[in-house]
Structure 1
Amino acid sequence: MSKKIYVAGGCFWGVQAYLKKINGVIKTQVGYANSKIKNPSYELVKAHVTDAVEAVEVIYDENFLKLETIVEKIFSVIDPTAKDYQGPDYGRQYRNGFYYVNEEDKETLEKTISYLAKNIKGQIATEIMKLQNFYLAEEYHQDYVDKHPETICHIKF
């Protein structure tokens, strides 16, 4: 059975490229989650007028890949203590978080992050929130690292 989760961990280019390589991930798309305005553009998100976060919509096969594993893998490539940045990218749109559509995922996320936090120095800044909205990013952002393999990113592939 396929499920959806929305993942933010800094610039969405690298997060998408990383997630696509995980067995059990069926499809990914990048976009803007929990925006205060409808259909935000990249320019508006960058200008900090939307409060949207760069996120990746992840459709995965829960019979093969567990949500806990997605969280563990993301935490292995981002800094979950970084508030409003990852690597060289600063701004609220680069915060890290998990945005759920299924209520039962909230508890799984909370338990998994709490467990992982025991082995992490510093306070976890990762958001766990219900998804309010998700708008696809412009086409040139989709699968960006595939189109531009020379891309330098905060996530190492």
Structure 2
Amino acid sequence: MKKILPLFMIAILFSCQNTAQVNSKQQAVINAEPIEVPLKDGKARAYFASGCFWCVEAIYESVKGVEESISGYSGGHTKNPTYEASNTGKTGHAEAVEIIYDPNAVSFETLVDVYFASQNVTQVNGQGNDRGSQYRSIIFYQNEAQKQIILKKKEALAKKLGAKIAAEVYPFQKFWIAEDYHQNYERLHPDNSYIRNVSIPRLNRFKSKFPKKLLKGYHN
């Protein structure tokens, strides 16, 4: 699935404007009013884009209070996006995850902390060798309170690092579930070379620096 782009292709990607992120349809998504997803059976939902969803799915499922992480697409202006279509960079969508969690066990604020602790926060349009607008970092908010949590944490992190934080902040509109073969990919394909060389190391880097009391498998 994931391939290392030749250097000349990377140069082309960064030398050209990304039309998926600047056209009028995409701007309408960015300027829209957020849609709030109601609780279902006491569980809340949150949405994040942070590079390959195979990696992000496993990271969030290691956090206490997270019931499930679903891979999909969000942030774009087309309906029913597919993996192939999103990879063109023309749909505006990014690979994203839907986090189903117990708000009594883990807060949205902590989920944002997980987000920033599990990626290269300064890399624009990608994570590692996964490059392109479909791999860009986006945090989605569903109401003003969530938006302020995101903006304050992003500002504090930028100040701490003395660098610009790449994550975009979008009003949540809709999450499109990815194809079945993408779901639980790390768990179902532990011997895949991408999983061994990229996903698992990224998960382990996150777990090594995040408070152990907030991770599954550890006790307070």
TM-score clears 0.5: yes
5 Å-filtered alignment, 1:79-118, equals 79-118=120-159
In 2, Cα distance between the equivalents of 1:87 and 1:116? 20
Query: 1:143: which partner in 2?
Result: 184
Whose RCO is larger (CA < 8 A, sep 6+)? 1
Q: 1:153 aligns with which of 193, 198, 207?
A: 198
Kindly name which structure, 1 or 2, has the bigger radius of gyration based on alpha carbons: 2
* 1:103 Cα deviation after fit: 3.3
| Per-residue deviation, 1:13 | 0.4
Deviation of 1:153 after TM superposition, in Å, equals: 2.1
Single out whichever of 135-144 and 106-115 deviates more from structure 2: 106-115
Q: Is the 8 A contact 1:71 1:113 kept in 2?
A: no
What's the Cα RMSD here? 1.5
TM-score, L = length of structure 1: 0.92
For residues 5-154 of structure 1, what are the structure 2 equivalents within 5 Å? 5-150=46-191, 151=195, 152-153=197-198
Letter in 1 for 2:203: K
Q: Which has the higher strand share?
A: 1
| Structure 1: runs of 5 or more not aligned | none
Q: Tell me if the contact between 1:2 and 1:61 (Cα under 8 Å) persists in the aligned partners.
A: yes
Counting matched residue pairs gives 157
Aligned counterparts of 1:139 and 1:37: Cα–Cα separation in 2: 20
Say which structure is richer in helix: 2
Partner Cα separation in structure 2 for residue 136 and residue 47 of structure 1: 18
Supply the distance in 2 between the matched residues of 1:83 and 1:91 (Cα, whole angstroms): 9
Deviation at residue 121 of structure 1 after TM alignment? 3.9
TM-score under structure 2 normalisation? 0.67
